[in-house]
Amino acid sequence: MAGELLGGLGSGRCVLGWVPGRVLGRVLGPPGFLCRSFCHPGAIPGLLFGHAAVRPGAGAPGVAQDGRVRRPLVPLAALALALVASGCTGPGAATAASATPRTSASGVAATATPAADLVQPPAIAWTSCRDGFQCSALTVPLDYANRSKGTVSLRLIRLPASDPAHRVGALLINPGGPGVSAVDFVRGFAKGGAPAALHQRFDMVAFDPRGTTGSAPVHCLDTAQLDRFFHVDPQPDDPAEIRDLDQENRLLAAGCARRSGRILPYVTTDIAARDMDSVRAALREPKLTYLGYSYGTALGAAYLDQFPTRVRAMVLDGALDPRSTWDQVLAGQARGFEQAFGSWLAWCNTHRTTCAFRRAVPGDLGAAYDAIAAKVDKTPLPGAGKRTVGPGELSYGAGQALYSTSYWGFLGDALADAQRGDGNLLLQLSDLYLERTPTGYSNAIEANFAVNCADKPWPKDIGAYQKLADRMRKEAPRFGPSIAWSGEGCAVWPVPATGRPHAVTGNGSPPILVIGTTRDPATPYVWAQGLAAQLAHGVLLTHVGDGHTAYSGAAPTCIVGPVNAYLITAKAPAPARC
């Protein structure tokens, strides 16, 4: 994705913010950019799960968008990435790290025998691929426990350290998801959103996890089918709407089985962590230095679970708690987004000049939002062309805007327009979230389902989701029901779950730095507290604020300073709150 300055609305300029990831819930967001006059968005990894969980502004595989929101609707400009992937060749096996992999709780191919682990990949052969980046591909086993099943090719990218004389090594980065392209993310983050010290001291490296964009991507439905899938009411309130939701989930599952059946059983987080170790070995790094955002923290925890002594330094920002069951994850996110929406309402209420919704509504803002939601539930608003804004697009668009305070003004504009009967801006926000461009969708949502449904058990009984939705309607009335129902897609998933929620201690690892933001919508702060506490050597750095994740070049010095120092020296700071 491009990292240059782009014109904002009006005459202002905007420094693009990177939006990695997603998490869970039918209302989460994808990586991309949103431009607003004089805004300086920070990193916003996010996503996790859901009928639609991903990030803003990514398009079809291998395509990036500028992510600008425009009025009236103008298609997002697609910037070809022209990533060059070369076959992996090079010298023989590297010296393996001394530890053998530990058995994880998944009980599947994620773990391999010590003998299998001794099969080292060849060194990566890099090829120049524009703007100083180098690209390649790494071949790994489809199934680490049974290498006769074939292989998968992983797409990689690297930006060499700008100060080679003081180079520390390679820093592997994952922006979140699951389903997000780490390669596309690093193209922008490395030269736009990252602290300068990272580019100076590290080769910044990423690979697309299996199932995503450039690495055996999961594909399930075409554009028209996905439009219908996302237009269905995400919080059904009668038997007919429940049937519609269930039917769309079944069509998605059948499409995934038909078009991507080979890869579906092998996209779990545990197996992706094995791929991380293959990448480490192919980079000829004796130990891993890693920066993971959002779902990327789950990858980090899975790596710690299997290879704790192969870690040099690890930063986990916007953490998930690996002990969480399906309902704990969904309920946690529901509360997180409800809290974030409350923060937005308070901001809008006191910022009349910058929040158009406050100017458009004479009374209570929350009640006005609820009135819009009730209206689109009965009669969708006109969007662009033949597309309309129903409950799904409202949910995704509003959820997208809660990932970063830099989006808050856009949400005010979009809701003010909706108040007047125009759904255009809400549709654009929804499309950013779902990574839809004029040419179609990326595969982020499909990959998101594939990973989440395999990573933990989900109830097969549709009543379990109804029960959770009823409970969350009381605790988080605006976002709770839709996030609760987002898990129902896993009830009909064609591949059984192999992962299990469990504590990760990482015994034998060095200190691990966990970052939590107190009002994070997608990964609630309590999850960061939980992960730091269960790790044998966890250190919690608390960011008091709003938005999803904290560490970026635009973050407060009390965050950037300790994280930079830790990554460079591998010496952890003391726990802190700022």
Quote the Cα angle for 126-132-136, to 5°: 20
CB 394 within 8 A of CB 426: yes
Long-range contacts of 399-402 (CB under 8 A, 24+ apart): 399/25, 399/27, 399/28, 399/29, 399/337, 399/433, 399/479, 399/521, 400/29, 400/30, 400/56, 400/429, 400/430, 400/432, 400/433, 401/344, 401/429, 402/337, 402/340, 402/341, 402/344, 402/521
H-assigned helices in 380-423: 391-401, 408-419
164 beta partners: none
| Cα–Cα dist 170/198, whole Å | 10
Catalytic residue among 520, 543, 546, 552: 520
CB 34 within 8 A of CB 67: yes
To the query of whether residue 244 is one of the catalytic residues in this protein, the response is no
Beta strands (DSSP E) in 397-489 are 436-437, 440-441
Residue 306, phi-psi category: left (phi > 0), alpha (psi -120 to 50), beta (remainder): alpha
| Cα–Cα dist 115/138, whole Å | 20
For residue 293, the Cα-to-chain-centroid distance in whole angstroms is 8
To the query of whether residue 548 is one of the catalytic residues in this protein, the response is yes
CB 304 within 8 A of CB 538: no
- CB 243: neighbour CB atoms within 10 A? 12
Instruction: Tell me which amino acid residue 437 is.
Output: T
Catalytic residue among 294, 406, 430, 482: 294
| Cα–Cα dist 299/228, whole Å | 31
What is the biggest distance separating any 2 CA atoms in the chain, rounded to whole angstroms? 71
H-assigned helices in 292-381: 295-306, 326-350, 356-360, 365-378
User: Residue 404 is inside which H or E element, if any?
Assistant: none
To the query of whether residue 294 is one of the catalytic residues in this protein, the response is yes
User: Residue 485 is inside which H or E element, if any?
Assistant: helix 480-486
Residues belonging to the active site: 294, 520, 548
